[in-house]
Each structure stands twice: as structure tokens, then as C-alpha cells.
Chains A and B, each alone.
Chain A
């Protein structure tokens, strides 16, 4: 995968595979391209060169099929502030043609601790509850690949427990998770595999059991800025 913004090369020949049932934590310093990587995987940002295949569907040729298989929590909750949580979930559920939508919305609201807030407008919710609602929106269509961009940011401890539970259930169901995080210990503990991005490439790719926080932070230094050299 290659992606540049103007003269700044963000992804420079990055090559990765994620397997079913695998949780991959992606680390890297600020601006190294973690969010760009996730946006590229969601089809929101186009690659300059390269291909991405999601369960056999080429993202550039069959994006609609790939989007059915993907779920993403990005920095913004991507919910309509003037609609209630229930209206938002119902709207996005219809976009994904989720069967038995009302039941699915209730089930997810219950799971995320949102049931008392279902009829509240999203803009009236705290940041943490907006994040919970965003996670519920992401899970509506039972995606096979979950993409989480610093999803734990702004969550309180009980919400983090919910998020960890979602990731564990996803793994247990044989589904894949790719997550970026700045919480290194937490990321290593929750992942099966650890990737560290540096210089637009993968500087480290190991099973999490063989990685220490120092291995990760050690790669944040000179190699962290895009285009700063070979990783």
C-alpha cells in the first residue's frame, strides 16, 4: 500500500495480512500513518498504489461488498447529533439492511449500557456515551473485520471493559480486529499480533507474546516521521 498527501509519503509499500480470529494492534508515533492505514482499509481514503482484499473482495473494485464485511470506529462517532441514539442506530441499520433491526438495536443498546439513553439526542450525550453509541453503530451488521482507531480514547473504565469484551467476543467468533492505540501495555495485552509503523512501513511485526513495551517505544524515535528513512 502506498499513500501520499502532497509531498508527504505516509504509507510507503506497507504490506500486511490479517487472519480470521486475529487481533492486531498497530502502534506508531503521531503522524506515522495509523489513522491513514485504517481509513484506507475502510475505503474512506483511496490508495495511490496497491491493492487491498477483504475476504476476497477487492476494495477498489467491489467496495460495496467489502463495506458489508467491515465495521469501523474512527476518531469521530459519525452519528447525527440531532437524532436520538435509537434513530441513529435504526438509520444506519437500514443502510446495512440489518434483519430484525429493532431487536438488534435493543440488544446492542443493552450490551453498551445505552438502554436508558436510547431516546436521548446524541449531541446531549457525553463523549464516552457517544463513543459507546459509535461502537453500537459499528457492530449493527456483525462485521467480520473490526477496525478500531484509538477506540478506547474518552472511555471510562466500565466502557473499556465493554470494549475489551467486544474484542474478545469478536476473536472468539473467528472474526478479525485491527486496532490502533497509544496505550501500549493495554494494546499488547489485548492483541495476538503487534505491528509498529515507522517511516511509512512496518518496522516490527511479531506475536504479542514476544513483544515488550520497550520494543514498541524504541521504534517511535528516529523512524517515526513519514519519509524519514528506511525502516
Chain B
């Protein structure tokens, strides 16, 4: 178990080091998400009540769409240098490679959210920096990174991978995006934990199912 965790961390640490050098992934997610959020602040007249109505949807749509860019990049860099083949030549099981890549993507999305949320709060003038929203964001990041890592592996060898990944990722993530939007909506309107517990349960169930299913899909995608 300890050795497996060390391998997962070694894989994620390698991705973090590469990101630290290139800053491709987090920058892409943050810039795209902030652009979407900024455009909406101009497009919609943001009265306090309207901010609470449309804000959560805008926030999670921006994170989900921007996340696709980052997820695409995280696998593209493995394909460019054929380093995916290098990983495949190691005796590490495909499951551990999946969890290593997923952990890296989870960290990238989470770092991006740390930048995006305060800017969103300032522009929409609604408070999302609360414990409840942080829990929702963590659950959403786990789901996004699991689904995204698996589908990025599926589309990495496809010529039109930039198109293929969003086509696979976004429909599959709809339940999680719904759960995140509805939960956030309850929180910004002053609701308690119990008021969005159903959505929270949906997000948890999504994460459990899709982490397992994505690990299987990832293995299948790499082997074939």
C-alpha cells in the first residue's frame, strides 16, 4: 500500500514539476474561466438577486469548460514526447498511473479554483468562500479529474483530441455540474447543509462511481 501511494505521488509530483516549468495547464484553466466569468458580468445586469440566480451556473460552467482545456493539455504533453509509451514500459500497474495522473489533475483544478473563486466573488458580489462551497468544490474537482483523466486517455491518440475530449467529458459530467450548481445556489442563498444534502449525496455518489469506472476505462484505453 505504501509503495503504491509512493508511486502515485511520484507520478503526480512529476506532473506538478512539469507544470511548474511550463505553467500551461493552470494558466489555461484560470484565464479561460475568468474570461467566461468576466463576459457574463458584462452580458447580464447583475442585481443582487440575479447574481444569486445565475452566478452558481456561470461559476461551474466556467470551471467545467476551462477544466477541459487543462485536462487536454495534461495528456497532450505525454503524447508529444511519446512519454506515455515510456510510462507504459514501466512495471507500474495502469491503475496507479491513472491515480497518479488523476491526482495531478485534481491539484491543477483545485489551484485554478483557488484563483477563480475570489475573483468570481468580487465580480458577482456573492459569497462563495464558505466551508460548504469549498466541500462542493473539492467533490467537483475529484469528479472532474477522474472523468477527465480517463477520457483524456481515450482521446489522446485521436487526431481530433481537442474536440473529442469535451464531447466525452461534458455530457458525462452533467450530473456533477448539476449537483455543484444546485448546492452552490443553496449556499449563496443562505441555505443550510440539510437543504442541499441530496445534491451533496449525488456528487459523492458520482465521485465514487466515476473514480472506479474511470480507472477501468483508463486501463482499457491505454491497453488498446
Contacts and interface: CB of A to CB of B under 8 A. Distances in A.
Contacts of A70: 89
A46 B14 CA distance: 28
Interface residues of A, number: 28
Contacts of B7: 94-95
Interface string A38-51: 00001110100000
A58 B176 CA distance: 41
Contacts, number: 67
Contacts of B83: 78-80
B89 A67 contact: yes
B22 interface: yes
A95 B92 CA distance: 6
Contacts of A77: 81-82
B207 to A, nearest CB: 27
Nearest to A68: B91
B81 A78 contact: yes
A80 B89 contact: no
Contact of B90 (A65, A67, A82, A83): A67
Nearest to A81: B81
Given A74-B85, A78-B85, A95 B18 contact: no
B223 interface: yes
Interface SS of chain B: helix, strand, loop or mixed?
helix
Given A76-B81, A83-B17, A95 B87 contact: yes
Interface string B21-51: 1100000000000000000000000000000
B91 A65 contact: yes
Interface in A101-122: 121
A8 B89 CA distance: 26
B78 to A, nearest CB: 9
A80 B85 contact: no
B89 A46 contact: no
Contacts of A92: 86, 90
A82 B85 contact: no
Interface of A: 42-44, 46, 64-65, 67-68, 70, 72, 74, 76-83, 87, 91-92, 94-97, 121, 137
Interface of B: 3, 6-7, 10, 14, 17-18, 21-22, 77, 80-83, 85-93, 223-224
8 contacts: A44-B85, A67-B90, A76-B81, A76-B82, A77-B81, A79-B83, A82-B22, A94-B7
